[in-house]
Structure 1
Amino acid sequence: MTLIKSISGIRGTIGGKAGDGLNPLDTVKFVSAYATFIREYIKNTSNKIVVGRDARISGKMMEQVVVGTLMGMGFDVVNIGLATTPTTELAVTMEGAAGGIILTASHNPRQWNALKLLNDRGEFLNAKEGEIVLKLAESEAFEFADIDHIGKVVENDYTDKHIEAVLNLKLVDVEAIKAANFEVAIDCVNSVGGLVIPKLLKALGVTKINELYTTPDGEFPHNPEPLPEHLGEIAALMKKTTSDVGFVVDPDVDRLAIVCENGEMFGEEYTLVAVADYILKHTPGNTVSNLSSSRALRDVTEKYGCTYKASAVGEVNVTTLMKETNAVIGGEGNGGIIYPASHYGRDALVGVALFLSHMAHQKMKVSEIRASYPSYFIAKQKVELTPSIDVDAILLAVKEKYSQYDITDIDGVKIDFPDKWVHLRKSNTEPIIRVYSEAHTMQEAEDVGGEVMKVVENLAK
């Protein structure tokens, strides 16, 4: 069994002894700590907290424990039930709530679940706030409500409100999408996407939908992370049908993968690139992604005479830099679209609507749109080290060795060569250095990553 406590939330496997996984006793402790944090640190007069969940098998059990604990802490709960992560984020602001909890382990397998914690803006807690919650949980200094101050619970479905908000976005061109008469294939991995994505497509005027795995029962039919090696079925479906585009979401619908009309993968890094291309064409401005995301976003941004910036890895770091630079679009290379005109959170619904608008305007096949962007390949490798190795010292030595190149050290060390890059990051959970590299061919990416890995290995001797 596994329980991982981090500043970005609490995740773990279901079952086993208390303290060994994300079980009812552990859930009560961390939810109580979060409620205490909200009461003491969030300057919001609301007594409401929103709770939403994906369709995991453990979701209903977790929901009841979380809702009951929040009521016991004296908070009123707005339980929105089965809902995407971005839906829950939007519900916090729509309700004027003091915070929100999302029950989802994102792309992790079925035995996992997690508590993702939101502030009163419907955004993830930052590192400092996350540390406070962990310390409160460790101290267990909670004060539960007396009989006259136990919270109440109301149930409210926010799916339709989320879809309406997407349709009202200025750059979502519903009329153009309807006129294009697209045929769309989807794979929703038997989670909440199965409830939301077909409804969104119909609201956008798409009448021909070829569905895979839209039953929200939490029985994932394949690895739920939307990577090419897991998407063979929708690729085959694209070839068997006349679908113009395929959309794949993860269990909580904050990541979007796209499949071309010929069954080939668009590439998860290019979801953000394509959407940014559409946004920048109509509203020029700055863009942001993290250090491990493709250089293609920078290239497209500069094509419009705009400025690209890279943040440390982590959604909260991306959104913080987006606010600082007043970015018009940003996100992560894992298919995460963050569009400030909607909200500061990854949102696959927004991604679907904007990409279909882009398709309708371009009047090109999806494979042709993909071919219009600079072609890059990312290799992901790692160097295993002994626990006694000083990883920070090694990263500093790498930084000095490659000092003639552009170096970014806000999150590990990133070396920007003229036509490629290598990013080294220390793992927070194991004695390894993750090595991501990008170049114009996979062989080049692996070679330049391998070259830097040899330097690390030599330094570690």
Structure 2
Amino acid sequence: MPIIKSISGIRGTLGEKMGEGLDPVLIVQYCLAFATLLKTENKKKITVVVGRDGRVSGEIFESLVVSAMRAAGADVIQTGYTTTPTLEMAVIMSKADAGIILTASHNPANWNALKFFNKNGEFISPETGKKLLELIEKNDFICADEKNLGSISYDDTFMHKHVEAVLNLPIINKKAIADAGFFVVADVINSTGGLILPILFDALNVKYKIINNSDYGKFAHNPEPLPQHLTELSSEVVANKADLGISVDPDVDRLALICENGEMFGEEYTLVAAADFVLSHKIGNTVSNLSSSQALKDITLQKGGKYYASAVGEVNVVNKMKEVDAVIGGEGNGGVIYPELHYGRDAV
């Protein structure tokens, strides 16, 4: 399979010939290049947050990332298992200079990827991504001497802090949710959704059943949240008479819902439903990419706001949201971005 290089990172399949997939050499090169950029721009000791989703290859690749960043002189805060939105928030909470997560999102288990974030916990800009690729092409990296190697610390508290930040949002009525007596079934596909969703449900007094939460990294089905991949979740919702079925992808930045009758709500309507709720509390502008449903535009205009379309790609959606001061935005793949929390897709 080909390697897919983009401005926000690199992804590819495992087990290929060197240079034809995601291999250890590429991972080290990308990390050294990223550290070089950070050191060049900051002119000081830098700190980077590093984490991974539940993929089997994640532990090995994470060790490479941590070692490469420390060899370049960066201090590392290692989270271990995490979600993409949690790592984005961890960068902000720890006041780090950047973040790196190992996740190939909705791609199958034989894929993995490096995704890079700036000090705001957002995907690096196209300009930074271009500089990163230029350094890799030139093999031009800065490494530290023995007196300036980076340190390492461990912090596994960020998921709890992430959930706490969500629940402290003024728009969230914790009492109403707790009093409703909801029962939900969640498919976490043997990845880190199985760690963060129980924290959320317990805090909201929501009863729940988690499926596919045992053999981490061995995905129970194709991670893409399409109806044909969520038949088990649909059956469990009906069998357990649940109020809702919840499906998250391996790094928990996309959300798809199953109705109480077992029918799929459709990931393209996740953002629409969230926007309907947000706009009911605060009228404002919305943004989605050009591949998203027309429904977001319709409901935004109905509520009295203005809708704007962006180019495809999370970084483009975020930039447009900032430009038009959007109250909510995202993508038609189940990715919701709520600026009151942070500028990143977040299923939590």
In the superposition, the TM-score normalised over structure 2's length comes to 0.98
Contact 2:189 2:250 in 1 (8 A): yes
1:301, 1:60 → 2: CA distance?
Answer: 43
Aligned to 1:111: 110
1:2, 1:160 → 2: CA distance?
Answer: 37
Once the two structures are TM-superposed, the CA of residue 216 in structure 1 deviates from its matched residue by 5.8
Once the two structures are TM-superposed, the CA of residue 242 in structure 1 deviates from its matched residue by 1.3
Aligned to 1:27: 27
What is the SS of the residue equivalent to 2:326? Answer: coil
Once the two structures are TM-superposed, the CA of residue 45 in structure 1 deviates from its matched residue by 5.1
Once the two structures are TM-superposed, the CA of residue 238 in structure 1 deviates from its matched residue by 1.3
| Cα-to-partner distance string for 1:243-266 (whole Å, 9 max, x where unaligned) | 001110000000000100000011
Once the two structures are TM-superposed, the CA of residue 189 in structure 1 deviates from its matched residue by 0.3
Aligned to 1:433: none
Contact 1:46 1:98 in 2 (8 A): no
| Cα-to-partner distance string for 1:200-231 (whole Å, 9 max, x where unaligned) | 1111110x212211226100010011111210
Aligned to 2:7: 7
Once the two structures are TM-superposed, the CA of residue 199 in structure 1 deviates from its matched residue by 1.6
Once the two structures are TM-superposed, the CA of residue 330 in structure 1 deviates from its matched residue by 0.5
| Cα-to-partner distance string for 1:326-363 (whole Å, 9 max, x where unaligned) | 000000010001000000000000xxxxxxxxxxxxxx
Aligned to 2:252: 253
CA RMSD, aligned part only? 1.1
Quick one: percent identity of the two aligned structures?
A: 54
**Structure 2 residue 333 is matched with structure 1 residue 334:** yes
Q: Report the CA distance shift for 1:46/1:248 in structure 2 as closer, same or farther (over 3 A).
A: farther
Once the two structures are TM-superposed, the CA of residue 44 in structure 1 deviates from its matched residue by 8.1
What is the SS of the residue equivalent to 1:323? Answer: helix
What is the SS of the residue equivalent to 2:50? Answer: strand
Aligned to 2:86: 87
Matches of residues 146-161 of structure 1 in structure 2 within 5 Å?
146-157=145-156, 158-161=158-161
**Structure 2 residue 314 is matched with structure 1 residue 312:** no
Aligned to 2:265: 266
In the superposition, the TM-score normalised over structure 1's length comes to 0.74
Tell me: higher relative CO, structure 1 or 2? Use CA pairs within 8 A at least 6 residues apart. Answer: 2
Amino acid at match of 1:343: H
1:53, 1:240 → 2: CA distance?
Answer: 33
Once the two structures are TM-superposed, the CA of residue 301 in structure 1 deviates from its matched residue by 0.6
| Cα-to-partner distance string for 1:44-71 (whole Å, 9 max, x where unaligned) | 8561000010010000000100000000
1:336, 1:203 → 2: CA distance?
Answer: 23
2:6, 2:143 → 1: CA distance?
Answer: 24
What is the SS of the residue equivalent to 1:348? Answer: coil
Aligned to 1:296: 295
Unaligned runs of 5+ in 2: none
2:180, 2:202 → 1: CA distance?
Answer: 13
Aligned to 2:192: 192
Contact 1:272 1:333 in 2 (8 A): yes
What is the SS of the residue equivalent to 2:77? Answer: strand
Aligned to 1:242: 241
Aligned to 1:211: 210
Runs of 4 or more above 4 Å deviation: 43-46
Contact 1:44 1:120 in 2 (8 A): no
Amino acid at match of 2:121: G
Unaligned runs of 5+ in 1: 350-461
Contact 2:39 2:45 in 1 (8 A): no
1:25, 1:85 → 2: CA distance?
Answer: 23
Amino acid at match of 1:338: I
Q: Paired residues, what number?
A: 347
